[in-house]
Chains A and B, each alone.
Chain A
Amino acid sequence: MFNLGTPFTIFVAFSICWVLGYFIWALKSKE
């Protein structure tokens, strides 16, 4: 992505998954 190297690409993909995964957990949790 953006031709800025592997660490940058992995981090962008990782942070999208992290945020989505976190919200799925937070919204599903009871309280």
Chain B
Amino acid sequence: MFDVSTTFYVVLVLYFLVIVGIAIWSWTKNKTSEDFLVAGRSIGPVVGGAAFAATQMSAGTFVGTLGVHYLTGASWLFIWVGMWLGWIVAATLVGPKFQSFNGLTVPDYVGKRFNSKSARGISALLILIAYTVYLTAQYQAGGNVFQTLFGIPFMWGVLITIGITLLYTMFGGMRATAYSDFFQAVIMAGCFFAAIPILYSQAGGAAFVGDFLQSFSPNMLTWHHGFKDLLGAGAAFGLSICVAPYELARMYTLRSKKTVKLAIGFSFVFQAIIAISVAAAGMAIRSLYPYMSTPDIASTIMAINILPPIVGSLIIVAILAAVMSTVSGVMLVSASAFSHDFYATMIRPNATDKERMRVNRIAVLGLGIIPIFLAMKQIELVQFVVLLQASLTASFFFSTVLFGLNWKRGTAAGAIVSMLGGFFTALSWYLSGKPFGLNEVIPGVIVSIILFIAVSLFTKPVPEDSLKPFFKDVG
């Protein structure tokens, strides 16, 4: 437990008040399911870009990644290149087509494009399970921040973080999620960027930090991580991000195809500022505290012991913001898989919009509460899914999304076989101890592509009517 100043409590309360304010404002604006699930397709490029970045950043970026830079220096920055290449795929081959389809959920796309309820159901089920479990890890991260800082029980930390997030997601829907993401991304990028000059002046200047690292651990200033390491990790991030359902769902909220492209540009700005600031911070902290028991506490030490109270408080709020923005994005995607893809499409297709809105909110509440119990039970399977969710969802969705949007011949059978084949390949690769040191997402994606093409060529093409929304030259 650290000695936390009153400033921190004031900053924390102000932050929560802004978030609650956004939720109330969004609540008054949400009249239909379309408002709730895709913010009435009204989000512009800056807010949209911030939302892309905020959802992508989690507690891991500010705790784990900062710790890696603290230990190994700047070369780990180059994994962002893989991530950004993934975003380029999203900007050119995925996002604009997704946006113009005007769907409500990711399984909506699968159902329409492949004219198949089974493919839709399978994709909704995977999202529902993988994301509900994934939330557990984010809850644990929120609980840890409170426990480490204030010494209050872990569970209370979980309940405070999740209570607020649940509130704004349940009442404000995607609009509240998008605008609070914007606010959270500004805090994350702004605070870390503003902290850098202060950190370096505390550390005796940039030249001193460089000289110190040169004598203390010279490989921190060179290529500590080799090309193969960076390529493997970068490819895994890139392949995952271009088809990640929590980012795809955001495409529907944007105004136009052009907005999608510009939003991804603004997300690069946020990502670059955060990436560079986190790396610079990690290296400066190393020169101030060269021997920490674990690099994971570097960000907390920076916030509490190094920076002035107001900036330090904002840094902790930024870490909480990273947790909350990921939770709200993921929560909404898993809840809509239940409320829209199962309830409104399969169980009660004649439900009124008012009823759908009610079910949307109940689903957010229900699926937001389940991970609390999972977090308490510490089930082994949970840790497993948490570790693998990005690889498994990417291996599952890669061909169905990327090839489905760009190759007319893709069929429902091809999609189903590739989703299941990609998923199980990634899983078995991981269980076999990652042969050749290769991340499981790479074989998962390769197998999903092969199966998608091979099975599609041997099965009957989908009707033209299903292709129309995605291909200009059809119909």
Contact = CB atoms under 8 A, between A and B. Distances in A.
B231 interface: no
Nearest to B283: A4
Contact of B265 (A4, A26, A31): A26
A26 to B, nearest CB: 4
B222 A7 contact: yes
A5 B220 CA distance: 8
Nearest to A30: B258
Interface string A2-30: 11111110011011101100110011010
A14 B435 CA distance: 32
A4 B91 contact: no
Interface stretch (B55-63, B146-154, B271-279, B351-359): B271-279
Contacts of A11: 74, 77-78, 80, 275-276, 279
B256 A7 contact: no
A15 B277 CA distance: 13
A7 B226 CA distance: 11
B465 interface: no
Interface stretch (B111-119, B204-212, B336-344, B423-431): B204-212
A5 B276 contact: no
B256 A31 contact: yes
B276 A12 contact: yes
A29 B84 contact: no
Given A4-B210, A22-B268, A29 B258 contact: yes
B216 interface: no
B268 A19 contact: yes
A22 B262 CA distance: 9
Nearest to A23: B265
Contacts of A5: 73-74, 210, 213, 220-222
B233 to A, nearest CB: 15
B73 A3 contact: no
- By size class, the interface of chain A is 20 to 34
Given A3-B209, A4-B210, A15 B276 contact: yes
B96 interface: yes
B75 interface: yes
A9 to B, nearest CB: 9
A12 B78 CA distance: 10
B175 interface: no
B84 A6 contact: no
Contacts of A14: 81
B209 A26 contact: no
Interface in B250-302: 256-258, 261-262, 264-265, 268-269, 272, 275-276, 279-280, 283
A3 B220 CA distance: 12
A27 B265 CA distance: 10
Contact of A18 (B77, B84, B279): B84
Contacts of A7: 73-75, 77-78, 221-223
A15 B272 contact: yes
A5 B209 CA distance: 11
B219 to A, nearest CB: 9
Contacts of B220: 5
A29 B80 CA distance: 24
Given A11-B74, A31-B96, A3 B207 contact: yes
Interface in B100-125: none
Given A3-B206, A11-B77, A15-B276, 4 more contacts: A4-B206, A7-B222, A8-B221, A29-B261
15 contacts: A2-B200, A2-B209, A2-B210, A3-B207, A4-B213, A5-B213, A7-B75, A7-B78, A7-B221, A8-B73, A8-B279, A19-B269, A22-B268, A26-B264, A26-B265
Top-10 shortest CB links A-B: A3-B210, A5-B221, A8-B74, A2-B206, A15-B272, A26-B261, A7-B75, A11-B77, A7-B74, A31-B257
